[in-house]
Amino acid sequence: MKKILTLLLLFLSITTLTYSQKQKKEKTHPLDDISLNGLKWRSVGPALTSGRISDIAVNPNNFSEYYVATSSGGVWKTTNSGVHYEPIFDNENSYSTGCVTIDPNNTNIIWIGTGENNHQRSVSYGDGVYKSMDAGKSWSNMGLKNSEHIGKIIVHPKNSNIIYVAAVGPLWSKGGDRGLYKSEDGGKTWNNLLSIDEHTGVTDIIMDPRNPEVLYASTVQRRRHVYTYVGGGPGSGLYKTTNGGNSWEKIQKGLPKVELGRIGLAISPANPETIYAIVEAANRKGGFYKSTNRGAFWERQSDHFTNGLYYQKIIADPVDVNTVYCMETWMTVTHDGGKTFKNVGEDFKHVDNHSIWINPNNNKHLLVGCDGGIYETFDAAKTWDFKENLPITQFYKVALDNDFPFYNIYGGTQDNFSLGGPSRVNTAHGITNQDWFITHGGDGFESQIDQENPNIVYAQSQYGWLVRYDKKSGEEVGIKPIASKGEVDYKWNWDAPLAISKHKKGRLYFSANKVFRSDDYGNSWKVISDDLSRKLDRNTLKVYDRVLSIDAINKHGSTSPYGTIVAFSESPIDANLLAIGTDDGLIQISENGGDNWRKIDNIPGAPKQSYVNSVYLSQHDFNVIYVAFNHHKYGDFKPYIFKSDDKGNTWKPIANNLPIRGSIYSIEEDHIDKNLIFCGTEFGVFFSPNRGERWKALKNGLPTIAVRDIAIQKRENDLVLGTFGRGFYVLDDYSALRNIENAKPISKASIYPIREALMWEKSMPLGLPGKAFQGDNYYTATNLDPEAIITYYYDESYKSLKEQRQKKEKEFIKSESDTPYPNYSSLYSESNEEVPQLVFTIKDASENVVKKVFKKPSKGLQRFHWNLRYEEKNPINLNSSSFYNPFAGASEGTLVNPGTYTIELGYYHKGVLTSMVSPISFTVKALDNTVMPAKDRASKVAFQRKVSTLQGKIQASQRMLSEAENKIKYIKEAIKLVEQPIDVLSSSVRNIELKIKEISIKLNGDPLKNRLDIQQLPTPSNRVRIIVNEQKYSTASPTQTHLESFDIAKEEYSPINEQIIALLKVDIKELEKQLKAIDAPYTPGRLEINH
């Protein structure tokens, strides 16, 4: 019977699996197969304030090479001491990292522990341990995927297969992979050597440098939820092993007898007999301890300790046994073994320190990672060098203004102020740190900008400290609502929602546990709701499956008051329709401007008491509401997003095919297409063409990153992201997405509507383009230059015969089968195959061709940019410079005229052009950004084109003279070899050489006179060169000097050109004819007809 039951269960499981696989296959949608690679995100920075660093690992054999584990911006690498950093972890499944370790036996092997190794409110989670065998070029996930937070990784100093991992474990839930794990096979398998309980993990480990079998480990019991944090418990402690982790003993003699929190450890490289511990304990009984008997007893040195949710890391100096650095808000150091501590000195350095590397050969040289990025000192912290090229800023929110010509982007950051900066600039340097500005201090949160006056900016720091910032002057004034007489104080969230009304000038909405409205730009406020939260007493809620005492370690540390409003939306359609969401899971709706509120609770499918991260009232239909719940602080990482079509009376879940791992933070709706919506998740951004029925990621150019907020610039149709760890990203003109449906595109080819292209001449305040002479560490983000953005769709990718053959061969190679060898016929076809091309032809209003762009046929939505310039007329040069020469200039013509242009698409193959898309028109508009623009722009452009044409002719003449001179060199050698007297043709050659020099002097000037400082008449080539240098990149009218000099150059060039033609057509041709007659060896360019 048991056997039959087993077989039945096996059959059922196979049947279920088969059905499940079929179901998965049937769920594939057309949208899934549409490539959107043409839509690429543009990172605009900033790196002005950088962002939080978790760990730094320096190559012990090359101090110029080090790896940076950022708290929520991936992993970065430098090979030149920070002159340049390269992101090397962007395509993995996690972006938050807690530690990085270089294998001491092989510095190409790198280990990453994902999930920040701190416990504060904005911490992000990971998915285990990663390993690279090629110095960060590629990565493999090695397991412990449920650890969520890794504290530290140690590799055995003599055996790369032995790795120890301190897994702190989940922060918001119990269980998971937590403890001290060991692998003895390079990470293929793991054994948990030190497991305490389901609430406790290992936060730190150190190894005795004299004996790798001896390790010390600290465990920590901690838990965080929306409503609280507890930083310790009975599971926290200290342990030691002397046999590589096979057995452990508790080593807490001398430590406080109360419950412990986080413990940081350090063993002195100068004297490994000395071990230090910084201990967090209940009732503030923590302190700094030292053991000189290998952990048998700990002697209290002082009462110095830090906050375990964010710090508690210590690093021993490699030279001085008594010197230990302590990571904390203001970094401290002890020089007497922990008895006293003093600030190291950080006058012009960011605070909140997390990591330090001390040069073992020079202990005055430090690398420090903090909330503001990486700093380096060479004089023991007297002075600091800031690495200003690491764009890892953590933005909570993003807001946009309507400034013209370029809108600005604003946002509040984790511990790095509130900032604003441009979406584009008019310079040739890209968007630099100098283009950004601070609007308010502290941790920054939601900003808003007056939509009519971009100089009125609202910014805030934590707990609702709201200011009105005057962008024109840089002044700010505080406008936070304060309780009136007799009214209890308000409860503010760390991140309070702020909104500007779309209906009334000067109207603002701001929320604590109540909603406030101002109709005078924040000068006064009216309370328009009661407390809209559940009004729960968080001290009655369970932690570790029980209600804890008020004396629990660091109770409620860095936690917002519970029961606050965290999301707000005003209907763009109905000024009286308002909606809020709370941190304890409620949605409240008012249909009369706040006089009354209707509570919405227990939405089917939504987690109970969940954080309402976003509530969104549709701008197309006042009945439609979107809401996103974020339950990650309860250990649930699933996406929860819902839609209501009846003002919240009924709800429909629309997460559908969103990844199961990745909470939702933000929702946005297109302002034109009511069906097109967007959502930002823990690991990226997605769009849906049908209101959430089907989702697709927009990831080209975007690393794996948390998208905390989304904003749309309606004038430009730009989609802008506020990411938590990689700054701001812009998707320029996303409007093509309005044409993407969950269906196979009908057209074989399409060109989507093209937005108005802005045109200007780029300035160069640094003197030269790009980074100029500022050095390689000068940070610049990608700018959108004066360009037309052309977005198109094509439904077929072209694969050459060679590509098709190699694809088939890969299958044979993969299966280790015999690979068929191509025959002559197939190889001949491959080598003579003509690759088809898509040809885009741009014409002006008079049907003149202005530009042709050639693209290889590729399936999906594609994009290219036209720089709004004519082609230059210079001779073709297929060579490229072997080095970057900023003085050489770009190979480009003058800007086109403002006006209407068309673009059409054709398919070119084997000499035949087939029309695919009829002309689409678009507008080019010149910026009004100059003081003395040309009065007649068309005449100005016509002049520039005439100059360009003459320049091209002159350069062609110069090239012909050069080629003639080169011909003569070959001819002279041929005359030496021919079986005729030397003087037969020598005089002819000599005469031609003299003519070449004479013409060259007329065209280019006399180099001998230059050497002797003898003044000369300006030559045609010099005149044109000067006009080009002075006029090509200007929108001003040509000066009278330019006009006159051009006429002179044109007049003087004409006879010179005739002389060159005569030289080539008569003199040299006659000489070549004579060479042929005397049977001279062939020389380049000579027509040789053999009979």
Residues 112 and 196 in one domain: yes
**Which long-range CB contacts under 8 A does 543-550 form with residues at least 24 apart?**
543/223, 543/225, 543/228, 543/230, 544/174, 544/199, 544/221, 544/223, 544/230, 544/233, 545/174, 548/230
How many C-beta atoms lie closer than 10 Å to residue 665's C-beta? 25
Query: 265 with 196: CB under 8 angstroms?
Result: no
- Tokens standing for residue 254: 């001398």
* Distance between CA atoms of residues 263 and 279, nearest Å: 5
* Distance between CA atoms of residues 647 and 53, nearest Å: 44
Identify the CA nearest to 345 among candidates 359, 364, 361: 364
Query: 1083 with 1072: CB under 8 angstroms?
Result: yes
Total number of residues shown for the chain: 1091
> Up-side HSE of residue 454: CA atoms within 13 Å toward CB?
15
**CA of 980: how far to CAs of 969, 990, 1067, 1070, 1074, in Å?**
18, 17, 21, 18, 12
The alpha carbon dihedral of 322, 325, 328, 331 has a sign of positive
Question: Cis peptide before 454, with omega less than 30 degrees from 0?
Answer: no
- Tokens standing for residue 106: 């092989």
Residue 135 belongs to a domain = yes
- Tokens standing for residue 100: 């990085």
Residues 958 and 1069 in one domain: yes
Residues 852 and 896 in one domain: yes
Residue 156 corresponds to which amino acid? H
* Distance between CA atoms of residues 1081 and 1088, nearest Å: 10
Q: At what angle do helices 937-977 and 1069-1077 cross, to 10 degrees?
A: 20
Q: At what angle do helices 937-977 and 983-1004 cross, to 10 degrees?
A: 160
* Distance between CA atoms of residues 261 and 233, nearest Å: 7
735 secondary structure, DSSP code: G
Residues 965 and 1071 in one domain: yes
* Distance between CA atoms of residues 384 and 378, nearest Å: 8
Identify the CA nearest to 280 among candidates 304, 300, 249: 304
Query: 458 with 428: CB under 8 angstroms?
Result: no
* Distance between CA atoms of residues 99 and 1045, nearest Å: 66
Q: DSSP letters along 823-882, please?
A: -HHHHHHHHTPPPPEEEEEEE-TT--EEEEEEE---SEEEEEEE-SBPPP-SPP-----S
Residues 902 and 972 in one domain: no
Residue 836 belongs to a domain = yes
Q: What is the pLDDT of residue 983?
A: 80
Q: What is the pLDDT of residue 1087?
A: 83
CATH number of the domain enclosing 909: 2.60.40
Query: 203 with 231: CB under 8 angstroms?
Result: no
Residues 814 and 920 in one domain: yes
* Distance between CA atoms of residues 624 and 952, nearest Å: 62
Radius of gyration of the chain (CA): 35
Sheet holding 408-412, edge to edge: 399-400, 408-412, 418-422, 437-440
Residues 204 and 234 in one domain: yes
Q: What is the pLDDT of residue 19?
A: 34
* Distance between CA atoms of residues 721 and 553, nearest Å: 37
Query: 275 with 268: CB under 8 angstroms?
Result: yes
**CA of 715: how far to CAs of 668, 756, 847, 956, in Å?**
16, 10, 29, 46
- Residue written as tokens 């701190």? 118
How many C-beta atoms lie closer than 10 Å to residue 157's C-beta? 13
Backbone angles phi, psi at 582, to 5 degrees: -110, 165
Query: 476 with 465: CB under 8 angstroms?
Result: no
Residue 476 belongs to a domain = no
Start-to-end CA distance of the chain, whole Å, equals: 100
Count of structural domains, the chain: 3
∠ at Cα 911 (907, 914), nearest 5°?
30
255 secondary structure, DSSP code: S
Q: DSSP letters along 146-203, please?
A: T---EEEEEE-SS-TT-EEEEE---SSSS-SS-EEEEESSTTSS-EEEE---TTEEEE
One-letter-per-residue 3-state SS of 536-605: CCHHHCCECCECCCCCCCCCCCCCCCCCCEEEEEECCCCCCCEEEEECCCCEEEECCCCCCCEEECCCCC
- Tokens standing for residue 46: 């900033």
Q: What is the pLDDT of residue 461?
A: 98
Residues 921 and 998 in one domain: no
Query: 564 with 538: CB under 8 angstroms?
Result: no
Residue 574 belongs to a domain = no
Query: 667 with 8: CB under 8 angstroms?
Result: no
Residue 1034 belongs to a domain = yes
* Distance between CA atoms of residues 770 and 989, nearest Å: 48
Query: 633 with 611: CB under 8 angstroms?
Result: yes
Residue 907: its H or E element: strand 899-909
| DSSP 3-state of 894 | coil
Question: Cis peptide before 87, with omega less than 30 degrees from 0?
Answer: no
| DSSP 3-state of 696 | strand
Residue 695 corresponds to which amino acid? W
| DSSP 3-state of 1052 | helix
- Tokens standing for residue 898: 């403002």
∠ at Cα 243 (237, 247), nearest 5°?
50
* Distance between CA atoms of residues 398 and 665, nearest Å: 12
* Distance between CA atoms of residues 723 and 391, nearest Å: 11
Residue 429 belongs to a domain = no
Average pLDDT for runs of 10 along the chain of length 1091: 39 38 62 96 98 98 98 98 98 98 98 97 97 98 98 98 98 98 98 98 98 98 98 98 98 98 98 98 97 98 97 98 98 98 98 98 98 98 98 98 98 97 98 98 97 97 98 98 96 98 98 98 98 97 95 96 98 98 98 98 97 98 98 98 98 98 98 98 98 98 98 98 98 98 94 98 96 97 98 94 90 89 91 94 97 97 98 90 87 96 97 96 97 95 96 96 94 90 86 95 95 96 96 96 97 96 94 90 83 57
1066 secondary structure, DSSP code: I
63 secondary structure, DSSP code: T
- β 696-697/684-688 pair status: antiparallel
CATH number of the domain enclosing 146: 2.130.10.10
Host domain of residue 1024:
937-1077
Residues 6+ positions from 354 with CB-CB distance below 8 Å: 52, 53, 54, 55, 71, 118, 310, 311, 313, 327, 369, 370, 371
Residues 900 and 979 in one domain: no
Residues 103 and 241 in one domain: yes
Sheet holding 565-570, edge to edge: 565-570, 578-582, 587-590, 598-600
Residue 586 belongs to a domain = no
* Distance between CA atoms of residues 696 and 34, nearest Å: 9
Residue 316 belongs to a domain = no
Residues 949 and 842 in one domain: no
Residues 861 and 972 in one domain: no
- β 313-316/465-470 pair status: unpaired
* Distance between CA atoms of residues 697 and 724, nearest Å: 18
The alpha carbon dihedral of 426, 721, 787, 406 has a sign of negative
* Distance between CA atoms of residues 868 and 925, nearest Å: 10
- Tokens standing for residue 857: 């046929």
pTM beyond 0.75: yes
